[in-house]
């Protein structure tokens, strides 16, 4: 079912992404924080609600991944307009985060022709760290947690690439490398 609560939460992030850019363009930091906070909250809730209401689906996993991608790609641009000094000071970490985040997607596109929607446990931890790190960086000008989150992204990237290598065909909601091995064995058996 397309219009269930989890899918609507993911669609919200997809629709909100251009408005996040506008908050930066029109220099509205308060609106940026409100919208960014709502986007992070919708990301945290969509999967929980999907599992609680038994509304998990391939479409939902894809919408969630697209919402994540748009959130993580529009945020740096909006931040650049709002806080150029932070971008200047953190440029290498921001570029690293974007590249590390995108690399497994290209790897999945090459192998399967689709973006991966694994939603691993490490990815969930990484999302929490990155979200908290971004809030600490932008709201309190403290970069430590943001730096830790970028380093943790490397672990997420490696896990996603290994899962892509293990799986013989595209699957969603693979929680760990161990789960990928189990899926591979099921496909053989």
Query: One digit per residue, pLDDT tens: the chain, 189 residues?
Result: 678 999 999 999 999 999 999 999 999 999 999 999 999 999 999 989 999 999 999 899 999 999 999 998 899 999 999 999 999 999 999 999 989 988 999 999 999 998 888 999 999 999 999 999 999 999 999 999 999 999 999 999 999 999 999 999 999 989 999 999 999 999 887
- Which residue is associated with the tokens 């000008």? 141
CA 139 vs. chain centroid, Å, equals 20
Buried b (16+ CB within 10 A) or exposed e, 80-109: ebbbeebeeebeebbebbbebbeebbebbe
Question: Percentages helix, strand, coil for the chain, rounded to the nearest 5?
Answer: 80, 0, 20
pLDDT at 100: 93
Sequence ranges of the domains in the chain: 1-82
Q: How far apart are CA 178 and CA 169, in angstroms?
A: 16
């Amino acid at each position: 079912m397309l219009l269930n609560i989890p899918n609507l939460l993911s669609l919200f992030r997809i629709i909100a992404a251009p408005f996040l850019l506008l908050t930066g363009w029109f220099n509205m930091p308060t609106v940026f924080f409100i919208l960014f906070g709502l986007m992070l909250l919708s990301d945290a809730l969509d999967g929980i609600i999907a599992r609680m209401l038994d509304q998990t689906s391939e479409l939902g996993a894809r919408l969630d991944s697209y919402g994540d991608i748009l959130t993580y790609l529009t945020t740096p641009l909006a931040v650049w307009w709002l806080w150029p000094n932070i971008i200047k000071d953190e440029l290498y970490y921001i570029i690293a985060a974007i590249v590390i985040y995108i690399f497994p997607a290209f790897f999945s596109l090459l192998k399967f022709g689709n973006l991966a929607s694994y939603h691993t446990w490490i990815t969930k931890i990484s999302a929490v760290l990155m979200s908290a790190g971004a809030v600490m960086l932008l709201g309190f000008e403290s970069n430590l947690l943001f730096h830790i989150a970028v380093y943790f992204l490397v672990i997420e990237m490696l896990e996603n690439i290994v899962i892509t290598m293990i799986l013989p065909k595209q699957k969603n909601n693979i929680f760990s490398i161990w789960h990928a091995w189990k899926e591979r064995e099921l496909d053989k058996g």
